Amino acid sequence: MAEKRRIELMVCTGTGCFAGGAFQIIEELNKELESFGLKDEVSLVATGCNGFCGQGPLMVVLPDNIFYGWLEKKDVHYLVEEHFLKGRPVKRLMFMPPDEKEPFPLLSDIPFFKKQLLVVLRNKGIIDPEKIEDYIARDGYLAIEKVVASMSPKDVREEILKSGLRGRGGAGFLTGKKWEIASQQIKTPKYFIANCDEGDPGAYMDRSVLESDPHSVIEGMCIAGYAIGSNEGFIYVRTEYPLAIKRMRIAIKQAEEYGLLGRNILGSDFDFTIEIREGSGAFVCGEETSLIHSIEGDIPEPRQRPPFPAQTGLWGCPTVINNVETLANVPVIITRGAEWFSKIGTETSKGTKIFSLVGKINNTGLIEVPMGITLKEVVYEIGGGIPKGKKFKAVQTGGPSGGCIPSSMLDSPIDYESLQKAGSMMGSGGMIVMDEDTCVVDVSKFFIQFTNEESCGKCTSCRDGSEALLEVLTRISAGEGREGDIDFLTELGESIKDASMCGLGQTLPNPVLSTLRYFKDEYEAHIKEKKCPALVCRNLIQYYIDPNKCVGCLLCIKSCPTEAITGESKFIHIINQENCHKCGQCLEVCPPKISAIIKVTGSDMENLVQLSEIISCKEWKKNHEYS
Amino acid sequence: MPKLTIDELQKMRETTRKGIYLREGNFRGKVIVHMGTCGIAAGAREIMNAFLDESDQRKLTDVMFTTSGCAGLCSEEPIATIEMKGSPPVKYRKLTSEKVKKIFNEHIMAGNVVKEFVLGIGSERVG
Ligand SMILES: Cc1cc2nc3c(=O)[nH]c(=O)nc-3n(C[C@H](O)[C@H](O)[C@H](O)COP(=O)(O)O)c2cc1C
Ligand code: FES
């Protein structure tokens, strides 16, 4: 058959776009391309996550590099005719930032993509993750080829050590060093485990790597196996990731068929196999010693280290565990060299890092940036700033046990050390942006609630300590904070960090400690003035209808689920505080040009005019014009 | 599926690379077939087909084929613009499959504009 392809549609089928109906779009595209007779000229590729999930479902048209977002089934007919047949790209489906007049047609012009640097996600959106041929075409399996043909295991370990690659799973340990320790162990066999447990709520970096480029992880594992002298690898993926598991299965099978996995890889005497292990465990399952217990079929609880898994791991044998993002870096380091890699990033943190950028930010999605980029660049340039003109308050990095970084530190570069100095951590790459409407006490409470629930309970400090933190935080946000609470939280937080056995306990106080460090005044306001400055904590706020503004339209009365608002048409409405559950419905429905409903807290609640009788809006106006 | 040797993997890399050339964007030239309603009526679809056939026969991976709207000269359709890197765009008029063959051989492959079919060079018209 003659090859007439001139356009390729890279349709994102990552988690977000999938949920948004990407497969319905694909179906519709197929139908329309067929009916316009364009099937030979235009082909369709289902890719992994493109990154700009906030714009999904989306696609990129190649070779023109045109980006279309927020696609709907009903747009497809027009799009196919206009762009793919007649060559007129459709403006209204292009990316349009809030305060611009003209859309950005090209992906490469969109600020969200501009400051990114793709090393791990080098193939994202360019290959079909279910085709090994696509991976090979992009220099895939070139690294393993180089390794078996011309490098000794020691050469490989040294190259990785020289590159400065550090683990992306949380602790940031030097990968080359870990491999070195394992290779020195005399005991055999040795095992290799790729960690794709990814238990952080809202994180999907690792999932995305597997879904968009599974072969890069396979190749990384193979190289690691060669370097440490292991012939058996496992990849631990959570069951909640069916698409990642499916793509990994397909990829392993293809690699086996081509002899890139199994016996005598590429004709060499190196053998390596990979098995998938599905885990459906708790957050703590991602911790390396728990994960090993889980693969062994035991209760997934952490154990004391040392000995480290590299010394005594799976079934008592030397075992290296690496995060999947760490592994996807390995093939490029081998093909492009340690020197190239170590030029990216800062003194202590080399290469790039993937983050999931979410929260109160205009552009949400998955980003890969060079280490050393500032938080400001991420929030304002890639993220496009805070929506609705609100003020930035803090960015929370490092997952549920990371810390909040305030605006005064937005110029800090992103690397392992700077984040730690700021009271947070790199973690696996969650990044939650908070605006002025976020209450730090509430946020701390939320994260401690999570870690408290996820604590395996084995060590007292983590189990009971988190419980005690939660109790105090709950009291404070309920308006029952006491003198001494702040000191108690600080001391308890520090001692949980010191006394806990695994990383969960050692980091869980971070959200509390970091917010106490930067937003102490807000804690004090809650405790001393019974005031929630961000107007979030329900017990400390009131909804109030301003009689000077109320026009008596009944909207709030109709919306109130607890019938806490009284009033009649054209009479000023009044909220009966006793019945109010503070759901905020009334504020939502009050028309913006009226804006009669406000939230108040602390002493402001005492200064409100309380109406004692029902009065018509007209009457009120008249009385108040004269007075 | 046979297990690959290093040589075979290298060969495979070369062939598979051709399969994804549209995604890598290293083009030395671009052919734009004008596909307004008038163009389509005058046979622009066949012209596109002719270009794609020629490209396929030569297994080219460095020329991009695309469409655009009406060029504003309906009586001259089908029209195509050829933009080779480093030279001004050239518009050809009243195309047929035979003309496409000649343009492909002489202009796209050898770099010589086929003057007899030219409608304009750059943004100007040739009188
Ligand atoms: C509570 C807890 C949860 C963890 N969850 C993960 C996880 O989901 N994925 C991961 O790669 N590492 C996780 N880790 C870190 C692992 O213990 C381990 O350090 C990491 O997988 C090593 O790989 P790396 O050196 O490539 O980062 C977690 C650690 C702790 C303490
Ligand atoms: S899922 Fe489509 S962009 Fe992330």
Which ligand has the shortest distance to the CA of A462?
Answer: 1
Two tokens, residue B69: 């709207």
Residue A321 in contact with ligand 1 by CB distance below 6 A: yes
Residue B125: the pLDDT is 47
Chain A, nearest residue to B56 by Cα: A3
Residue A141 to residue B9, Cβ atoms within 8 A? yes
Class of domain A352-435: alpha beta
Chain A positions touching B66 (Cβ under 8 A) are 6-7, 64, 87
> Which of A85, A133, A139 has the CB atom closest to B35's CB atom?
A85
Alpha-carbon gap: B126 to the closest alpha carbon of chain A (Å): 25
What is the complex's ipTM, to 2 decimals?
A: 0.84
Fold classification of A132-342 (topology level): Rossmann fold (3.40.50)
Residue A125 in contact with ligand 2 by CB distance below 6 A: no
Domain ranges of chain A: 7-110, 132-342, 352-435, 440-528, 538-623
> Which of B2, B16, B68 has the CB atom closest to A137's CB atom?
B16
Mutate to test the pocket of ligand 1, among A301, A321, A356 (most ligand atoms within 8 A of CB): A321
> Which of B19, B35, B65 has the CB atom closest to A137's CB atom?
B19
How many whole angstroms separate alpha carbon A285 and alpha carbon A197? Answer: 7
Buried b (16+ CB within 10 A) or exposed e, A238-254: beebebbbebbebbbeb
Q: Which amino acid is at A593?
A: K
List, in order, residues 6 or more apart from A393 with CB less than 8 Å away: A406, A407, A434, A435, A436, A438, A534
Residues in chain B: 127
Say whether A41 sits in a helix, a strand or coil: coil
Sort B22 into a burial class: Cβ within 10 Å, 0-12 / 13-18 / 19+: buried
Alpha-carbon gap: A40 to the closest alpha carbon of chain B (Å): 10
Query: Chain A interface, mutation test: which of B4, B51, B61, B68, most A Cβ atoms within 10 Å?
Result: B4
Task: Count other C-beta atoms under 10 Å from residue A523's C-beta.
Answer: 22
Fold classification of A440-528 (topology level): de novo design (two linked rop proteins) (1.20.1440)
Query: Chain B interface, mutation test: which of A45, A86, A265, most B Cβ atoms within 10 Å?
Result: A86
Class of domain A7-110: alpha beta
Task: Count other C-beta atoms under 10 Å from residue A146's C-beta.
Answer: 16
Helix A460-477 crosses helix A520-528 at what angle (to 10 degrees)? Answer: 60
Q: Taking Cα atoms as reference points, which of A395, A503, A379, A500 lies closest to residue A443? A: A395
Two tokens, residue A262: 């199994």
Whether residue A199 contacts residue A294, with contact meaning beta carbons closer than 8 Å, is answered with no
Helix (H) or strand (E) holding B15: helix B6-19
Whether residue A169 contacts residue A323, with contact meaning beta carbons closer than 8 Å, is answered with yes
Residue A494: the pLDDT is 96
Ligand 2 atom nearest to A15, measured from its CA: 1
Residue A171: the pLDDT is 86
Mutate to test the pocket of ligand 2, among A50, A206, A354 (most ligand atoms within 8 A of CB): A50
Residue A12 in contact with ligand 2 by CB distance below 6 A: yes
Alpha-carbon gap: B56 to the closest alpha carbon of chain A (Å): 6
Say whether B65 sits in a helix, a strand or coil: strand
If you average pLDDT over every residue of chain B, what do you get? Answer: 88
Whether residue A123 contacts residue A213, with contact meaning beta carbons closer than 8 Å, is answered with yes
Residue with tokens 């993509």: A113
Alpha-carbon gap: A168 to the closest alpha carbon of chain B (Å): 28
Alpha-carbon gap: B100 to the closest alpha carbon of chain A (Å): 15
> Which of A86, A259, A266 has the CB atom closest to B36's CB atom?
A86
Two tokens, residue A392: 């930035």
- Is the domain A538-623 a CATH 3.10.620.30 member? no
φ, ψ for residue B111 (rounded to 5)? 85, 15
Those of residues 122-161 in A touching chain B at CB distance below 8 A are 126-127, 133-134, 136-139, 141-142, 145, 148-149
Residue A11 in contact with ligand 2 by CB distance below 6 A: no
Domains of chain B: 26-121 (3.40.30.10)
Asked if A7-110 and A440-528 have one fold, the answer is: no
The residue whose CA is least distant from atom 29 of ligand 1 is A287
Q: Taking Cα atoms as reference points, which of A50, A92, A51, A138 lies closest to residue B21? A: A138
Residue B32 to residue A87, Cβ atoms within 8 A? yes
φ, ψ for residue A516 (rounded to 5)? -65, -35
Residue B19 to residue A266, Cβ atoms within 8 A? no
Two tokens, residue A390: 């609100």
Residue B127: the pLDDT is 41
How many whole angstroms separate alpha carbon A56 and alpha carbon B6? Answer: 40
The residue whose CA is least distant from atom 28 of ligand 1 is A287
Residue A627: the pLDDT is 55
Residue A86 to residue B6, Cβ atoms within 8 A? no
Ligand 1 atom nearest to A327, measured from its CA: 26
How many whole angstroms separate alpha carbon A522 and alpha carbon A441? Answer: 8
What are the average pLDDT values for consecutive 10-residue runs of chain A, which has 627 residues?
A: 83 93 97 95 95 96 94 97 92 89 91 95 94 96 97 98 96 96 97 94 91 97 98 96 95 97 96 94 90 93 92 96 98 98 97 96 96 97 95 95 95 95 92 96 96 92 96 97 96 96 94 97 97 96 94 95 94 94 95 95 88 87 75
Residue B123: the pLDDT is 60
Q: Find the A98 Cα to ligand 2 centroid distance in Å.
A: 20
Q: Find the A221 Cα to ligand 1 centroid distance in Å.
A: 16
For B47-90, write each residue's pLDDT tens digit: 999 999 999 999 888 999 999 877 777 788 899 999 998 888 99
Kindly tell me if the per-residue pLDDT of B17 is higher than 70. Answer: yes
